Amino acid sequence: MTIRSTAARFRLPARYAAIVMPFVLSVIMTFVVSAISTLRSLGLSAEFLSTWPVAWGLSWLVAFPTLLAVLPVVRRVVGLVVAPPR
């Protein structure tokens, strides 16, 4: 059995894409933004290493439900601004 077939076996059904996409997006975005913000405030120090994971966790707890709530509105706005594919 190859790695590709093993990974394909554990994939979620397509109906979960509406939850998985904002989940992954919120994890990545809050990871980067909280790291930059904490680094800017504290500098690269031991305090950064102890503070940043907490800042990231709190920002993710806000970002994920926010993305779930606003994503339908964002899709409508984008649909008004961007021409559909031909």
Give, for all 86 residues of the chain, the pLDDT tens digit: 566 666 667 899 999 999 999 999 999 999 999 999 999 999 999 999 999 999 999 999 999 999 999 999 999 999 999 998 88
Inside any domain, residue 3 = no
User: Total domain count for the chain?
Assistant: 1
Is residue 1 assigned to a domain? no
CA–CA separation, 28 and 24 (whole Å) = 6
Residue 46 lies in a domain: yes
Range of the domain at 23: 16-81
User: Which pTM value belongs to this model?
Assistant: 0.78
Q: 38: closest CA among 48, 46, 30?
A: 48
7 within domain boundaries: no
Instruction: Answer yes or no: is 48 within a domain.
Output: yes
Polymer length of the chain: 86
Position 6 in a domain = no
Q: Is residue 21 part of a domain?
A: yes
Q: Is residue 8 part of a domain?
A: no
Distances (CA, A) of 30 to 12, 36, 47, 74: 24, 10, 19, 19
